[in-house]
Amino acid sequence: MIRTASCILLLTALLAGGATAPTPAVPNTVRLLDIAGIEGVRANSLIGYGLVVGLNGTGDQRQSIFTTQTLANVLRRMGVQYDTTQVQTHNTAAVFVTAQLPPFARPGTKIDVTVSSLGDAKSIEGGLLLLTPLLGPDGVVYADAQGPLTLGGYSAGQSGNSVRVNQANVAIIPNGGIVERGVDVNLDGMKTLRLLLNRPDFETAHNAAAAINAVIGSNVAQAVDSRCIAVTPPQGQSVPDLLARLEDVPVTVHAAAKVVVDERTGTIVLGQAVTLGAVSILHGDLAIEISTRYQVSQPAPFSPQGQTVVVPQTQVSAAETPTRHIELGAGATVEDLVRGLQAANASARDIVAILQALEAAGALHGELEVI
């Protein structure tokens, strides 16, 4: 049986003078360092390769040759020699270990690590990660990781009788990594401090620069572009002291007029500031069903030329639902649209298609991002 579905969308702008201007977004006041970071001050990615042991027969199978080789190398360093062809590694799994080295980390700082199976292990639940060095992009060891794994799920059973909850091949070790080498960031050497907004916006950058100047009492901050604010530390004040004063500076921001759509799951996230031009929407569904039944055709009794054959009987049926009409006035929000579509029994994927058509028609006053 084959089923297909389609949407019939007709979008007609009703405004004689063009698209309606969006309603001004409601301003919101937030802390400066909640919406901005410091240029050059960031986390660094670390990665390592290691072994998880202590599994209950759910580790890598014989086809994962690298697991056996790694186990042999570990045991060889401990003075144990054995034939790799005579060992089974069902209680062992080869894994990649990843972590983020936070800024200003010093030797001895503890960090969280993520452990991910790279072989054919069924589950790494209950395992223990052996001591694993974590390297940066430059090949230098910056941290070590070791400890018992913590999973958010489990896997049990064999063959056709099994149960699985969440992902059983990825785990974390809270505070399982210890920093051995930090990355120095010399704040005092910065003659100009650059703050980078998480979301570029010229108005927010201007408001942030004005708020900084009001707190410092002089014209030390300037908006360079929609993302960067350059701040010159006052004479005699260090950068850490300046940042301590700027952390809680209130900045007026406006909500982004944005709609985020995930087509794979049908999830839609609506921004408060998104509005619509006056539109009329006609929506209907067309379903086509094709089913095939097989019948056996037999020859007449005692027929010398007859042959038994299978004859397919195909039946095609089509059903079309009545078109549903939704009309919105100028200045309506996306929330009003979704509420109307839900009242018309439109599915999440229908709403995604309608939002895309609204943007194509120029009636969606905001940014539509499909992920």
Q: How confident is the model at residue 286 (pLDDT cuts 50, 70, 90)?
A: very low
Q: Which residue has the higher pLDDT, 297 or 11?
A: 297
Q: What is the mean pLDDT of residues 312-341?
A: 65
CA-CA distance, 330 to 215, in Å (whole number)? 41
Evaluated on CA atoms 30, 34, 249, 23, the torsion sign reads negative
Find all residues with CB under 8 Å of 366, minimum gap 6, and list them.
22, 256, 257, 258, 259, 271, 273, 274, 275, 334
pLDDT at site 236: 81
Residue 156: pLDDT above 70?
A: no
Q: Which residue has the higher pLDDT, 331 or 76?
A: 76
The topology (CATH level 3) of 27-40+186-254 is Aspartate Aminotransferase, domain 1 (3.90.1150)
pLDDT at site 195: 93
- Where do we find the tokens 């390592």? 48
Q: Which residue has the higher pLDDT, 359 or 203?
A: 203
Q: Percent of the chain, pLDDT > 70?
A: 73
Residue 12: pLDDT above 50?
A: no
Q: Which residue has the higher pLDDT, 307 or 103?
A: 103
Find all residues with CB under 8 Å of 65, minimum gap 6, and list them.
none
Domain ranges of the chain: 2-24+259-370, 27-40+186-254, 44-155+165-179
Q: How confident is the model at residue 249 (pLDDT cuts 50, 70, 90)?
A: very high
Cβ(32)–Cβ(221) under 8 Å?
no
Rg (CA), the chain: 31
CA-CA distance, 117 to 51, in Å (whole number)? 9
Residue 20: pLDDT above 50?
A: no
- Torsion, Cα 229 233 237 242, to 10 degrees, reads 0
